[in-house]
A and B are shown apart, each in its own frame.
Chain A
Amino acid sequence: MSSIAPPPSAANIPEATRLELYRQMIEIRYCEKRAHDMFLQNLVKGTSHLALGHEAVAAGFGVAMNKDDYTFCTYRGHHHTMARGASMLSVLGELMGRQCGLMKGKGGSMHLTSAENGVMGSYAIVGAHLPIAAGAAWSAQYRGTKQVAAAFFGDGATNIGAFHEALNLACVWKLPVVFVCENNGYMEYTPIGAVTAVANPAADRASAYDLPRQLIDGNDAEVVYQAACDAYAKARAGGGPSLIECLTYRHGGHSRADPGKYRPKDEVEEWMKKDPVVLYRIRLLQAGIAEATLDEIDATAMAKLEAATEAAKASPPPELASAYTDVYADGGAAWRN
């Protein structure tokens, strides 16, 4: 599969949309790199699972969604959260455990949630959110709102029961849900092929649920965008779920400071040549978009990032009292009278 060739159906994506795809990718790229730096500086504590290399999937889907659609992510969900409109400040702040964070430090890197932007949580139990996304789609179907739910998950998640239960239920109930597998070739440190009965962990399972086989270049923002638009149109028209496998690669390790030594050097090099952000910039230049336009997007994104970084560093830690709030709907933690 060529990473560079534009797919025929993507040729007529409007310029504004193309620039938006690019802007999303650049912002995610910059912010994730910064998150990595801050982890090494011990400003980001705990853990973080970066999506460097996965930017095209988030941008393609994020741009294709309506404002009121639902996103469900994994612990590797910073990119999808930002692609729905959550600010760099709110994301970095959460990673740092600050008051300005999306959840004021109560969820952390693995649980980014921005309900106002349709990000209905990031889930750290592999596979758990696929049935939940199906449920949100069921609710949209029941309420007749035409909203669509998307669940993003890794290749590893295709081997857990919840994946199969969610797909079956979504198909039987014809739910407006899009299941998006970001196949980066590894489940943590193990190559996915070593532990999976089929070559393409999501696409090769589609037939079991009477779904079309969809395997796409997840490093091509326009291919992803087009596949997303098609899946959303199908879901909104009552055509039920889609299962889309996006081939991609993570540029760094699985989490924290993992150097990713278990990946062959030449494999890493091959994939680095297919860097989605670099490729898309070339694509846009070839399409006649002025370099200055892209440079300006880059500069604006960097300025935003610097401002967000400074603001996050200046933000206080959360109030201690907040450890005891929002366990129950009354706002508190009382389990007794």
Chain B
Amino acid sequence: MAQLTYRDAVSAAIAQEMLRDSRVVLLGEDAAAAGGVFKTTVGLFEQFGPTRVRDTPISELAIMGAAMGAAMTGLRPIAEIMFSDFLACCWDYVANQFPKTRYMSDGQLGVPLVIRTANGAGARFGAQHSQSVENWAMAIPGLKVVAPSNAADAKGLLAASIRDPDPVIFFEHKNLLGNKCEVPDGEYVLPLGQAAVLREGKDATIIALAAMVPRALKAAETLAAEHGISATVIDLRCLVPLDTKTILEHSARTGRVFTVEENPRLCGWGAEIVSIIQEEAFSSIKGPMVRITTPHIPLPAADRLEDEVIPSVARIINEVRKALGK
């Protein structure tokens, strides 16, 4: 075990898989020689060379298309889209091409690739470089959607995504890239579709993803220490496959459910989760389920405004207390 940052865990996972499988190749803007604008691919170009680690032009369509063509014909490409906001430029591939090819071809073709992209707020980049768009991807049948909250998960889930035979959209959270934790040294692969129960309590179940996970944990600590509320915290880790077993089991145990979502309110992933819980665990639910989300607005740039709208530790604490009347 070594302390690694989230960003170093990303490059460690890629290196691990490239060493293991010569079909794995990487492409993206500034991803090779420069090591990525977020420094998540540092050292790979030096270690694996320009045939496997390739810089591309500013051509999001070409990046996605090239990755798909390569994936359909025997390679395991990892493509980087610098900011997840830019997925809007090449959404055709995400929405129409990657996820539908297996189905439309009646299983003749598959698209085993990973799209890595920097997601989320915290860097004060404003409305076109800060969005959380994991719920966009979740809405498309045929994709897998992964969003780790810590360095160890980043390594294990990225490795799993690269090995996975389906197209995976892998959201790396900008605001977590510098966070460190213990990361297993050797080959490390986690299963996709297993949520992590980070803390167990009896009063409330807080369900979070990516950068909202550390906030949910902090909120749970304060709720326990200062307000006599003991909360379970679930890190979903993947939106697809969705670990509904864990969600339903732990929601039923406390009967009070809170989702903490960075995506804007409408059709955020929490809406789907709340809907599943009400259909399948209704009798165990003791009060209204509460969605704590970014409001339905574009993201502002100023630090004061960004901090106001992204769910904060204080807001999570307040919402839980309000709902439980404590």
Contact = CB atoms under 8 A, between A and B. Distances in A.
Interface of A: 70, 72, 102-104, 106-107, 111, 113-116, 120-121, 123, 125, 127-140, 142-143, 149, 161-162, 165-166, 168-169, 172-173, 322, 325-329, 331, 333-337
Interface of B: 25, 51, 54, 56-57, 59-75, 77, 92-93, 96-97, 101-110, 112, 141-142, 144, 164-166, 193, 240-245, 276
A142 B51 contact: yes
A72 B97 CA distance: 13
B104 A107 contact: yes
A219 B18 CA distance: 47
Contacts of A133: 65, 69
B72 A132 contact: yes
B106 A106 contact: yes
24 contacts: A106-B105, A111-B104, A113-B106, A121-B72, A121-B101, A135-B66, A135-B68, A136-B72, A138-B66, A138-B75, A139-B74, A142-B51, A165-B61, A166-B61, A169-B62, A169-B66, A172-B57, A325-B107, A326-B103, A327-B141, A328-B142, A328-B166, A329-B166, A337-B245
Closest 5 CB pairs of A and B: A131-B65, A135-B69, A329-B165, A135-B66, A165-B62
Nearest to B104: A107
A212 B104 CA distance: 36
A104 B142 CA distance: 19
Contacts of B193: 337
Contact of B70 (A103, A142, A165, A335): A142
A134 B65 contact: yes
Nearest to A175: B66
A197 B64 CA distance: 27
A34 B323 CA distance: 67
Given A128-B65, A169-B59, A138 B70 contact: yes
Contacts of A127: 61
Contacts of B51: 142
B25 to A, nearest CB: 7
B241 A120 contact: no
Contacts of A107: 104-106
Contacts of B107: 325-326, 331
A168 B62 contact: yes
A125 B92 CA distance: 8
